[in-house]
């Protein structure tokens, strides 16, 4: 079949070339329209169910809201994990589904399950709400607004009613969470004295407000010729009008709302805040829809906001763009990668021209590279895959094979033509022979490389989600490259090289061949040295490789850092804001910091159920100032030194998102402590934290679930209530109205609705004021709350975590070592040895480090299987055990170069570097397969006797393609490796470094070590006669 | 053999040295971080300045005790009627007693008074007394402070009440069933204005509506429009209380009550802040009058939340410090 394809291409060179141009054009078009993203969708489908439970504390939320909802959700099909957080006033449940499912269907299943929730939840609990379906990265753009003239309420109104709808109207935007400012509500502040004086109850006020603000449509009038709409208006649309609402009648006189309450617009109780720069403001956090193109959506959103900015400025509002913008990383990464590839391409062209000394050969070889890569991009786009760091990484890794494919044919043809000298040749036959000579070995070599990639392709979980696009892009590129080598390359050869006589071989190649010849002759006489070098280097490579520190993903060099800070749970929002503002001021003053924004607590119905003690500083680095993210991070830590115990972690945006997706936690290592008794869990977690602190390399250790916080416990006393004829519910309702308020209705105001809340005066900001809160008995007697209820200050749980329905405490660790997997193993051993678990408590280890261990284990297992497959393939290709043995003998030694390169550049093995080793393995196998096949060709086809001279000839003839391939691959990857520490090269950089180092060892092995061994022990052909010395 | 050793060294040495170097760097970096000690809140000068800590000496104050009461303007006519009934029944008693005595004298003198007439007069006198006692008891029950008042003091009051120059108020203390010492003064809050009123005494009778103990107040020169049935807040001022005034922001609440942070003597540039329990006496303006502090104490009046946070977190976070 391979022969038929090559012959057909040679027969129709113009058609094949035209088709190739067309495919390249399609690829180019796809390149401009492809969906770009930072990463593939690495997060498993998940749904966040949030339920507001105003006024309830964490334990009440756990028992009354979270538990019943978990009960419904745990049984849902295809669910992999259900994690929940119960906090004051909020239940947040994350349902994680198994990969591969339809996220829309899974959401629907959750929605159906939640339909049963209404009957399970107590009165006053809001409906469970599902977060919108968003992409894995979730973050789109964070931007802010501040104003020196508008009040926090007016600013929030503006952002909520003017800006937010425009944000959500941008295609691809899933959600806009608003932090800061103050949400307007119309407040009816009831005076309990006046209420009692009027002989009314709170229920009367609720009812009056509801009736006073009710809007009932007026319908329309139909005259014989017109239909006139009746526009009914609610009576209490303004504060003044609402104040006139009649609550009851006393004698002849109506009793109005104003007689018992004060009505004014005010802020809702806040659950979050924001600081922009060093001023209070509004922070808007947007997220992308599932499957949306981050770059396109970001740019569209920014265009929309830029259009709005002038109008907002006229209203005294300053717009602060791009406070956090993951798209910047994509742009920067793509720009850097583009530059690296362009430089690489230029170097490759120069090398081709220098080596082949023939523009035709250089053009044919070079043109096949973009053709293969563009065709791959086109197919990736057609299959709906995004172009991201990983798929581009796959293309970069494929360069080695693509380059080899591009060179091998042209070089073989050129060599044959040179060998023929000026003799007349059947050019077409020469092309056929030259192409077919290498086709089958190339096919097997490519198949071997593809098999080497199988372990990466078969990775499961998050690792699989990350690296499958890489392996798909690689395999696709390699397959297309093979096809291009069999079609476009021969066709172009026919068109450009038919009558062309190539110039003589480059002088440096002639010298290299001479040097190779001398080396092989020398080593042929000392086979033990060759074996020793192969054995030692092979063993060294295999032994040293696992000694490197391992981590799943490298640190991404983004221009944004997120610093997490936390005060003690139970601290007031205003105190967190005050301190946050001071921190933000200092952070903004760090040289190299462009912007600082702080989100405090949570947004209403936001994604994170953070309490007011928690805040996140989003810090934008200005790269033009010349400071690295590491330097800025050190400065940030220095600032936090003056704010003791507040900083918890600093992450790049990507690292944070990936960490959270991997395990639900953002730290690289954590220990879940499961047990029904929260105090016991805490004690065990403390023990674990102490043990971990003693380990070298432990950075920050903290417990996720905060300690108890101060709560005011109100316990109605039935015997006291009976004295006044009060019901317990009356007490709780009054407490709720005083502290939480009750949203009674919504009023329409121009194009927006404003909630109307009834609140009770008298509840100040002190526990004493709560005790003095006056309740009204059915007879009208006023009684302070403290008289009918026990009020005490207690320490209670502010947050309760569940995983799969079980209570848990989590010990979060951010190790300060690059070998996170090693740290995880060490930590696990230490905990198992030194922490005694009480009955009913058990542990679970997690985090990126654990995932790394699991991924490495999976990778090794699949690699072993792949090795067996490669051996079988080689056996099929050669049919000789010695051939197979020779190829396998060469492979381990090639690793040493990659190992040395890794050690030189930091000594940490990321999965990217592992992919580099796999690629190296493939390149080395390919070189040896082609060399051994060429020996076979010389003996079987050209009828040469298997002598040292034949081995020398075969090796010399393979020197140019091997050297050329190595040099071209090296030059193509050199800019990537050199820019190892630049944004966008985090995955590809380590791969390139490993491949570059490995190319040195693999080239040396195939040029100098394999030939003497082959000459001595190989039996190409069938005679198997020993080689005369 | 020598060649083999050389080859091994050449292959092993660079790679293994580099790998070990990389690991050693990691460990050095990790070991350079020294753990910080957990303890009570302590800040150095830079940290105090950073978190915006403000320390001040609390102001001593001796304000009167203030208690909020629920005032209700009483019906003057009811009081006048009760007083009138008490007076008229007393007069009836006197008249009927005189009649009984007159008949008694006539009867004993054998004059024109029959025994039957005498007994009827005596019965009428007894009825009148009973009615007078009941009226008096009722009057005392409802208007005890006024009932105990001397007539020369009560009569002008009644005249003032009749003229509308004064009003009587019932100042109920919700939830209270007993009263302590009489307040020294009372302030009736009329549309936000505090108008002084005279505390006449304790009212012994609880009403259905208030179900609580109450004081009877006299409000002179009431504003026009304020009449019987009106309900309004009343502030009762008791004896003076000594304490220190601390701002609300300085106070923290815990299981064992309220406390403030007191600045301790600095040690090596580090100042510690000790929690000091305080007894809350009464709110005063934007702060609280508290007991439990000394005049020379310096307490944290701004930024106490950070110290509270620091105190709480230090006990639960095993966090390593950063290298300098």
pLDDT greater at residue B25 or residue A234: A234
A201 neighbors A781 (Cβ within 8 angstroms): no
Cβ of A787 within 8 Å of Cβ of B19? The answer is: no
Most confident of A194-198, B168-172, B224-228, B315-319: B168-172
> Does residue A516 contact residue A1008 with C-beta atoms inside 8 Å?
yes
Per-residue pLDDT tens for A68-83?
A: 999 888 878 888 888 8
For the stretch A851-910, pLDDT in tens is 777 777 787 788 888 888 888 888 887 777 888 888 888 788 888 888 888 888 877 777
pLDDT at A865: 87
How confident is the model over A749-762, as a mean pLDDT? 83
CA B117, CA A778: separation in Å to the nearest integer?
Answer: 54
| C-alpha span between A699 and B31 (Å, rounded) | 10
- A182-A185-A190-A191 Cα dihedral, nearest 10 degrees: 30
pLDDT (average), residues A456-476:
82
Predicted pLDDT at A423: 61
For residues A930 and A155, the model is more confident at A155
Q: Judge: B27–A772 Cβ closer than 8 Å, yes or no.
A: no
* A818, A819, A900 ranked by CB distance to B18: nearest: A900
Contact A781 B280 (CB under 8 A): no
Q: How far apart are CA A750 and CA A212, in angstroms?
A: 18
Average pLDDT over residues B145-153: 87
Give A394-437 as a 3 state SS string: HHHHHHHHHHHHHHHHHHHHHHHHHHHCCCCCCHHHHHHHHHHH
Cβ–Cβ gap B319/A700 under 8 Å: yes
Strand partners, B284: B287
Decide: A178 and A158 in contact? Cβ < 8 Å.
Answer: no
Q: What is the Cβ-side half-sphere exposure of residue A61, based on CA atoms within 13 angstroms? A: 29
> On the CB side of A1015, how many CA atoms lie within 13 Å of its CA?
28
Measured between CB atoms, does A1023 come within 8 Å of chain B?
no
Contact (CB, 8 A) for A951 and A1011: yes
- Closest Cα in chain A, distance from residue B157 (Å): 27
Which residue in the set A578, A818, A899 is minimally distant from B26, CB to CB? Answer: A818
In the three-class reduction of DSSP (H, G, I as helix; E, B as strand; rest coil), residue A329 is classed as: helix
Q: What is the SS3 assignment for A382? A: helix
- On the question of pLDDT at A918 being above 90, the answer is no
Phi/psi of residue B269, nearest 5 degrees: 80, 0
Angle made by CA atoms A410, A416, A420, in degrees to the nearest 5 = 145
How high is the pLDDT of residue B39?
54
Q: How far is A427 from chain B (nearest CA, A)?
A: 47
| Model pLDDT, residue B88 | 92
Radius of gyration of chain B (CA): 40
Q: Do A787 and B306 touch (CB under 8 A)?
A: no
Beta-carbon separation of A567 and B27 below 8 A: no
DSSP helix, strand, coil percent of chain B (3-state; round to 5) = 40, 30, 30
Cα torsion A101, A104, A107, A109: sign: negative
Whether residues B305 and A768 touch (CB distance < 8 A) is answered with no
How many beta-carbon pairs below 8 A join chains A and B? 225
Q: Note whether A690 contacts B31, CB cutoff 8 Å.
A: no
pLDDT tens-place string over residues A261-282: 999 999 988 889 999 988 999 9
Range 892-931 of A in CB contact (< 8 A) with B: 896, 899-900, 902-904, 906-908
> How many angstroms separate the CA of residue A534 from the nearest CA in chain B?
10
pLDDT band at A149 (very low <50, low <70, confident <90, very high): very high
Say yes or no: A108 contacts chain B, CB-CB below 8 A: no
Indicate the pLDDT class of residue A1029, thresholds 50, 70 and 90: very low
DSSP state of B323: P
Q: Is A1025 helix (H, G, I), strand (E, B) or coil?
A: coil
Instruction: Give B245 or A669, the one with higher predicted confidence.
Output: B245
Smallest CA–CA distance, residue A793 to chain B, in Å, is 5
pLDDT, average across residues A771-793: 82
CA of A646: which chain B residue's CA is closest? B310
Q: Quick check: A629 pLDDT over 90?
A: no
The CA–CA distances, whole Å, from A144 to A508, A605, A828, A974 equal: 62, 19, 43, 41
- Length of chain A equals 1029
Question: What are A555-599's pLDDT values in tens digits?
Answer: 777 788 999 888 888 888 999 999 999 999 999 999 999 999 999
Phi, psi of A205 (to 5 degrees): -70, -45
Kind and range of the H or E run holding B27: helix B2-31
Asked whether the beta carbons of A994 and A917 are under 8 A apart, the reply is yes
Q: Which of A84, A86, A80 is nearest to A46 (CA)?
A: A80
| Contact criterion met (CB < 8 Å) for B208 and A644 | no
Nearest CB among A196, A566, A767 relative to B253 is that of A767
In this predicted structure, what is the pLDDT of residue B322?
A: 33
Distance from CA of A135 to the nearest CA of B (A): 34
Element at A178 (helix H, strand E): strand A173-180
pLDDT, tens digit (0-9, with 9 covering 90-100), for A984-1011: 677 778 888 888 898 888 888 888 888 8
Q: Which residues of B touch A819 (CB under 8 A)?
A: 23, 26
**CA-CA distance, A703 to A398, in Å (whole number)?**
44
Kindly report which listed range (A161-165, A624-628, A748-752, B186-190) carries the lowest average pLDDT score.
Answer: A748-752
CB A672 within 8 A of CB B288: no
In tens, the pLDDT along B31-53 reads 333 233 345 788 999 999 999 99
Distance (Å) of CA A8 to CA A1, A24, A363, A436: 10, 20, 22, 13
- A-chain CB neighbours of B11 within 8 Å are 533, 536-537, 540, 896
State yes or no: pLDDT of B318 exceeds 60. Answer: no
State the smallest CA–CA distance between residue B95 and chain A in angstroms: 43
Cα A1009 to Cα A456, A571, A890, A897: the distances in Å are 30, 70, 8, 15
Residue B205: Cβ within 10 Å count: 14
Chain A residue numbers with beta carbons less than 8 Å from the beta carbon of B4 are 528-529, 532, 536
Q: List the single residue in B with minimal CA-CA distance to A540.
A: B12
Q: Which of B169 and A34 is assigned the larger pLDDT?
A: B169
Which of the pair, A38 or A312, is modelled with greater confidence?
A312
For the domain covering B6-63+242-311, report its CATH number: 2.40.420.20
A80 in Cβ contact with A44 (< 8 Å): yes
CATH of B66-76+164-237, one of 1.20.120.1200, 2.40.30.170, 2.40.30.10, 3.40.50.11140: 2.40.30.170
Q: State the Cα–Cα distance between residues A878 and A1022, nearest whole angstrom.
A: 12
A267 phi-psi bin (left φ>0, alpha ψ -120 to 50, beta other) = beta
3-state helix, strand, coil in chain A (%, to 5): 55, 20, 25
Return the residue in B39, B174, B232 with the most chain A beta carbons within 10 A, the one to mutate for interface testing: B174
Nearest CA to A147 out of A43, A281, A245, A19 is that of A281
| Residues B273/B40, Cβ–Cβ less than 8 Å | yes
pLDDT of residue B29: 37
Model confidence at A424, pLDDT cuts 50, 70, 90, reads low
Predicted local confidence at residue B317, as pLDDT:
34
Nearest C-alpha neighbor of A615 from the set A602, A600, A636 = A600
C-beta atoms of A548 and B22 within 8 A: yes
The conformation of residue A169, written as its DSSP 8-state character, comes to T
């Amino acid at each position: 079949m391979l022969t038929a394809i090559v012959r057909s291409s040679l027969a129709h060179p113009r058609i094949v070339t035209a088709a190739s141009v067309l495919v390249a054009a399609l690829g180019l078009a796809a390149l401009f329209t492809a969906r770009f993203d930072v990463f593939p969708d690495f997060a498993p489908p998940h749904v966040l169910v949030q339920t507001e439970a105003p006024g309830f504390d964490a334990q009440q939320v756990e028992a009354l809201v979270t538990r019943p909802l978990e009960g419904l959700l745990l049984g849902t099909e295809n669910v992999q994990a259900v994690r929940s957080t119960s906090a004051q006033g909020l239940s947040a449940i994350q349902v994680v589904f198994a990969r591969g499912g339809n996220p829309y269907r899974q959401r629907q299943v959750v929605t159906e399950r939640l339909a049963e929730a209404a009957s399970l939840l107590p009165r006053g609990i809001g409906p469970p709400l599902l977060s919108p379906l968003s992409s894995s990265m979730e973050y789109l753009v964070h931007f802010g607004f501040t104003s020196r003239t508008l009040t926090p309420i007016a600013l929030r109104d503006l952002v909520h009613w003017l800006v937010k709808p425009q944000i959500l109207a941008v295609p691809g935007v899933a959600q806009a969470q608003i932090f800061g400012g103050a949400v307007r509500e119309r407040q009816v502040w009831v005076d309990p004295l006046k209420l009692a004086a009027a002989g009314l109850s709170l229920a009367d006020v609720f009812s009056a407000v509801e009736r006073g603000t009710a809007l009932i449509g007026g319908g329309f009038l139909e005259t014989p010729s017109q239909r006139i709409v009746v526009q009914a208006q609610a009576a209490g649309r303004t504060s003044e009008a609402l104040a006139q609402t009649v609550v009851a009648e006393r004698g002849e006189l109506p009793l109005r709302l104003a007689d018992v309450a004060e009505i004014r617009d005010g802020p809702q109780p806040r659950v979050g805040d924001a600081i922009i720069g060093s001023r209070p403001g509004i922070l808007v956090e947007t997220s992308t829809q599932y499957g949306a193109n981050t770059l396109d959506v970001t740019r569209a959103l920014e265009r929309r906001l830029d259009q709005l900015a002038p109008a907002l400025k006229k209203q005294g509002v300053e717009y602060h763009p791009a406070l956090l913008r993951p798209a910047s990383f994509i742009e920067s990464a793509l720009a850097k990668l583009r530059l690296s590839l362009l430089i690489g391409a230029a170097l490759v062209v120069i090398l081709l021209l220098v080596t082949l000394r023939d523009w035709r050969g250089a053009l044919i070889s070079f043109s096949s590279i973009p053709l293969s890569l563009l065709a791959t991009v086109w197919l990736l786009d057609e299959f709906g895959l995004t172009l991201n760091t990983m798929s581009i990484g796959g293309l970069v890794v494929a360069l080695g094979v693509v380059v080899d494919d591009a060179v091998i044919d042209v070089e073989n043809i050129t060599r044959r033509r040179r060998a023929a000298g000026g003799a007349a040749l059947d050019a077409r036959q020469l092309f056929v022979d030259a192409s077919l000579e290498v086709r089958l070995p190339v096919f097997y070599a490519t198949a071997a490389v593809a098999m080497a990639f199988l372990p990466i392709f078969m990775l499961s979980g998050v690792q699989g989600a990350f690296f499958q696009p890489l392996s798909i892009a690689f395999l696709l590129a390699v397959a297309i490259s093979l096809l291009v080598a069999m079609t476009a390359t021969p066709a172009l050869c026919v068109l450009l090289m038919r009558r062309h006589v190539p110039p003589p071989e480059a002088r440096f190649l002639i010298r290299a061949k001479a040097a190779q010849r001398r080396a092989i002759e020398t080593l042929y006489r000392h086979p033990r040295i060759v074996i020793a070098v192969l054995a030692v280097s092979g063993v060294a490579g295999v032994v040293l490789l696992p000694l490197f520190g391992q981590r799943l993903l490298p640190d991404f060099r983004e221009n944004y850092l997120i610093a997490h800070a936390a005060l003690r749970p139970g601290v007031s929002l205003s105190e967190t804001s005050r301190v946050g503002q001071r921190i933000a001021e200092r952070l903004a003053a760090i040289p190299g910091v462009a912007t600082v924004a702080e989100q405090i607590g949570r947004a209403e119905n936001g994604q994170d159920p953070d309490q007011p003690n928690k805040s996140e500083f989003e810090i934008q680095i200005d790269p033009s100032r010349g400071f690295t993210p590491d330097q800025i991070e050190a400065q940030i830590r220095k600032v936090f030194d003056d704010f003791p115990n507040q900083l918890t972690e600093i992450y790049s945006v990507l690292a944070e998102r990936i960490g959270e997706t991997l395990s639900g936690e953002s730290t690289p290592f954590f220990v879940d402590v499961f047990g029904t008794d929260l105090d016991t869990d805490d004690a065990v977690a403390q023990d674990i934290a102490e043990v971990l602190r003693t380990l070298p390399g432990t950075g920050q250790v903290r417990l996720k679930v905060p300690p108890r916080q101060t709560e005011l416990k109100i316990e109605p006393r039935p015997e006291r209530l009976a004295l006044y004829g009060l019901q317990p519910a009356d007490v709780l309702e009054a407490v709720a109205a005083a502290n939480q308020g009750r949203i009674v209705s919504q009023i329409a105001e121009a194009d927006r609705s404003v909630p109307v809340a009834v609140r009770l005066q008298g509840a100040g900001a002190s526990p004493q004021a709560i005790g003095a809160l006056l309740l009204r008995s059915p007879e009208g007697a006023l009684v302070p709350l403290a008289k009918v209820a026990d009020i005490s200050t207690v320490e209670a749980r502010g947050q309760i975590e569940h995983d799969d329905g079980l209570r848990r405490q989590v010990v979060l660790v951010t190790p300060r070592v690059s070998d996170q997997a090693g740290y995880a193993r060490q930590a696990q051993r230490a905990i198992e040895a030194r922490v005694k678990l009480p009955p009913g408590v058990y542990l679970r280890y997690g985090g990126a480090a654990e995932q790394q261990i699991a991924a490495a284990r999976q990778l090794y297992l699949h690699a072993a299987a792949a090795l067996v497959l490669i051996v079988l393939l080689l056996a099929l290709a050669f049919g000789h055990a010695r051939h197979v043995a020779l190829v396998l003998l060469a492979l381990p030694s090639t690793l040493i170069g990659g190992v040395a390169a890794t050690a030189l550049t930091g000594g940490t093995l990321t999965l990217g570097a592992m992919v580099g080793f796999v690629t190296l393995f493939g390149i080395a196998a390919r070189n040896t397969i082609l060399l051994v096949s060429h020996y076979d060709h010389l003996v079987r086809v050209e009828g040469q006797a298997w002598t040292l001279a034949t081995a020398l000839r075969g090796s010399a003839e393979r020197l140019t393609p091997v050297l050329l391939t190595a040099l071209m691959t090296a030059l193509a990857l050199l800019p990537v490796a050199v820019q190892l520490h630049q944004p966008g090269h985090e995955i590809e950089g380590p791969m390139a470094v490993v491949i570059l180092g490995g190319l040195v060892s693999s080239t040396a092995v195939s040029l100098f070590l394999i030939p003497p061994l082959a000459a001595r022990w190989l039996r190409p052909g069938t005679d198997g006669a020993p080689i005369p010395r | 053999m020598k060649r083999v050793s050389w080859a091994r060294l050449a292959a092993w040495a660079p790679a293994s040295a580099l790998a070990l170097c990389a690991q050693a760097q990691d460990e050095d970096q990790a070991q350079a971080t020294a753990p910080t000690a957990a303890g009570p809140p302590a800040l150095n000068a830079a940290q105090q300045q950073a978190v915006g800590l403000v320390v001040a000496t609390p102001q001593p104050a001796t304000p009167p005790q203030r208690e909020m009461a629920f005032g209700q303007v009483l019906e003057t006519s009811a009081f006048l009627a009760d007083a009138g009934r008490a007076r008229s029944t007393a007069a009836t008693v006197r008249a009927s007693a005189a009649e009984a005595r007159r008949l008694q004298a006539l009867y004993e003198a054998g004059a024109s008074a029959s025994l039957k007439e005498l007994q009827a007069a005596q019965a009428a006198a007894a009825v009148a007394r009973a009615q007078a006692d009941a009226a008096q008891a009722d009057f005392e029950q409802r208007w005890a402070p006024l009932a105990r008042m001397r007539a020369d003091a009560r009569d002008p009051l009644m005249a003032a009440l009749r003229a509308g120059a004064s009003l009587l108020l019932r100042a109920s203390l919700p939830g209270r069933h007993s009263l302590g010492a009489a307040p020294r003064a009372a302030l009736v809050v009329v549309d936000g204005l505090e108008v002084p009123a005279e505390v006449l005494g304790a009212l012994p009778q609880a009403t259905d509506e208030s179900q609580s103990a109450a004081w009877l107040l006299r409000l002179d020169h009431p504003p026009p429009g304020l009449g019987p049935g009106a309900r309004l807040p009343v502030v009762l001022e008791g004896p003076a209380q000594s304490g220190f005034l601390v701002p609300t922001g300085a106070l923290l609440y815990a299981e064992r009550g309220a406390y403030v942070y007191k600045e301790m003597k600095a040690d090596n540039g580090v100042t510690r802040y000790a929690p000091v329990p305080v007894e809350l006496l009464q709110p005063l303006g934007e702060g609280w009058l508290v007991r439990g502090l000394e005049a020379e104490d310096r307490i944290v009046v701004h930024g106490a939340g950070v110290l509270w946070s620091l105190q709480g977190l230090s006990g639960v976070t095993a966090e390593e410090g950063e290298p300098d």
